Structure 1
Amino acid sequence: MEHNSISQRLVSYRQQLGKSQAEMSREFGVNQSHYSKLESGTKYISYSSLKKFEKAGGDVNYLVTGVHYKTGIVEDCMKRCRTSDGKIELMKALFWLTRQGIMLMHGENWKEANQRVWKYIRLAEEKEQHRNIWRSIRKIEDLTQMKMAERLDINIKRYQRLERMEAEPDAVILNSLYTLFGYSPLIILHENLYYAEEINKCWSEFSDEVRMQLNGVLEQDLKLIALCEQETDIALQKI
């Protein structure tokens, strides 16, 4: 059962960090007794605990999926954007450049070469339309609410509450989302950066020649974003 795998990873991760259960419980925002039950597998890790642990510097992606999250081009560029609007525009630019890079590397077979990235491109487009990450995923997977609930192994009422944003997913649901459909738990935890992992991975796999071409365009985009942020600051000062 995947729940057991998550609790086992939690134990091994705590040991890697060299922390006590008491220290980890504070980072998860629960008391030590509750935390002990997370490690034993008698309780699921809640969404709020995952958020708190990540804020404390923990690798939530590893806990949920077993794969350590690796930073890359996205995080490097984000440091150069000061506003939320600037970051949104940066992500749009990075996504477009990533698609161009894959096309340069694989030609007409680019969609087949990286199905996960293509799925994330569709997710970005769907979310822009629906403004709801769960509904967007369901539309991409072409599933009814009932089928989506069955695949996630939860009852229909719980899934409907998730889609209406009236409930939050625990670690097991997020793992199912990753295992069954290939979506990182980070698409739920931070909606503004829900495809960062895939972009980082793609850029690390680009050839030096392709990366050099893309970096030239990216640098111009970053300068334009910085200029727009500066103009916005000036406009606000005049109000």
Structure 2
Amino acid sequence: MSSAYDKLLNRLNAYRKMQNMSQESMGSVMGITQSHYSKVENGKKIISGEELHNLDMNGIDVDYLVSGIKSPRTVLDDLMEACGREKKAELLQLIVWTIQQGMENAQIGGSAAVRCTREIELLRYQVFPHTSEHTVWYRIRMANEMTQGEMAEALDVSVKRYREIEKGNTRASAEVVAALYENLGYLPSIILEEDVVNLSSLNLIWEEFEEELQKELEAFIRKGCGLWECRPGGRSK
């Protein structure tokens, strides 16, 4: 069992107690019995992909459980949700470019820059038309220029098991998701959400900008959206 998964269990236990939830109640949220949940909390059973998905669907911050980082919501989420589906790819590219300019302006580097770069590479790859039929696992692998064998090694699973995960035939367990974060830097919300326009890491960078810079960047993004409205075939105001 990896240290990342151990930390996940510790945070899950602490969260349950903070919410004054019994093991039976938490088990119910995850779709398992109290007895099964007790074994999960004690590390005797691994949280399955379905159980992790159930936690996420019931509003529990899985990003925090895995990383210890609380997932922020920013104006970027509002802009993406208000955007028509046919324009999401363009908006995504605009947001990515704007974030990069903001990072240069704020001179953000180090681990924050690495985290953002990983996210950007994935977001850039996922908007290519020829990848639309592929799972996010495939996109992550392509964005990192890794073979299936290299991905399997990074996630500490067999190549056979990884292939099933990449094909979408099975959900990745919480242990695999923890390894994804620990070794490749991707938050679990990247693979848990069906519509993989996930801004989690970009939101973390956005919150590091000063408020004045945020306003300038937001205005630039909104201006770009406004230009789309003026194009032939654009949405009417």
For the criterion TM > 0.5, the same-fold answer is yes
Is 2:141 aligned against 1:141? Answer: no
Percentage of identical aligned residues = 31
State the AA in 2 paired with 1:91. L
Give the Cα separation in 2 of the matches to 1:22 and 1:232.
49
C-alpha distance 205-52 of structure 1, shift in aligned 2 (>3 A): same
Is 2:183 aligned against 1:180? Answer: yes
Q: 1:38 corresponds to which residue?
A: 40
Please, what TM-score do these two structures have when normalized by structure 1? 0.81
Give the Cα separation in 2 of the matches to 1:45 and 1:9.
13
State the AA in 1 paired with 2:72. K
Instruction: Give the aligned length.
Output: 230
Q: 1:26 corresponds to which residue?
A: 28
- For residues 165-176 of structure 1, what are the structure 2 equivalents within 5 Å? 165-176=168-179
Tell me whether 68-77 or 174-183 shows the greater mean CA deviation: 68-77
Tell me whether 131-140 or 52-61 shows the greater mean CA deviation: 131-140
Deviations 1:20-78 (A, max 9, x none): 11211121112222212211111111222222222212111122223222222233435
Give the Cα separation in 2 of the matches to 1:204 and 1:75.
13
Helix, strand or coil for the counterpart of 1:151?
helix
Q: CA RMSD in A?
A: 3.0
Q: 1:103 corresponds to which residue?
A: 104
- Which one of the candidate residues 217, 220, 223 is aligned to 1:220? 223
Aligned-residue offset at 1:220: 3.2
C-alpha distance 143-210 of structure 1, shift in aligned 2 (>3 A): same
Helix, strand or coil for the counterpart of 2:127?
helix
- For residues 44-83 of structure 1, what are the structure 2 equivalents within 5 Å? 44-78=46-80, 80-81=82-83
- For residues 157-172 of structure 1, what are the structure 2 equivalents within 5 Å? 157-172=160-175
Q: Hey, which of these two has a bigger chunk of helix by percent?
A: 1
Aligned-residue offset at 1:154: 0.7
C-alpha distance 87-143 of structure 1, shift in aligned 2 (>3 A): closer
Mark the runs of 5 or more structure 1 residues left unpaired by the alignment.
234-239
Aligned-residue offset at 1:112: 9.2
- Which one of the candidate residues 144, 152, 156 is aligned to 1:153? 156
Deviations 1:66-91 (A, max 9, x none): 3222222233435545x544655543
Mark the runs of 5 or more structure 2 residues left unpaired by the alignment.
none
The answer (yes or no) to whether the contact 2:181–2:188 under 8 Å persists in 1 is: yes
Q: 1:196 corresponds to which residue?
A: 199
C-alpha distance 134-40 of structure 1, shift in aligned 2 (>3 A): same
Aligned-residue offset at 1:179: 0.5
Helix, strand or coil for the counterpart of 1:12?
helix
The answer (yes or no) to whether the contact 2:49–2:172 under 8 Å persists in 1 is: yes
Helix, strand or coil for the counterpart of 2:146?
coil
Give the Cα separation in 2 of the matches to 1:110 and 1:98.
13
Deviations 1:173-209 (A, max 9, x none): 0111101111111110115355412221222122344
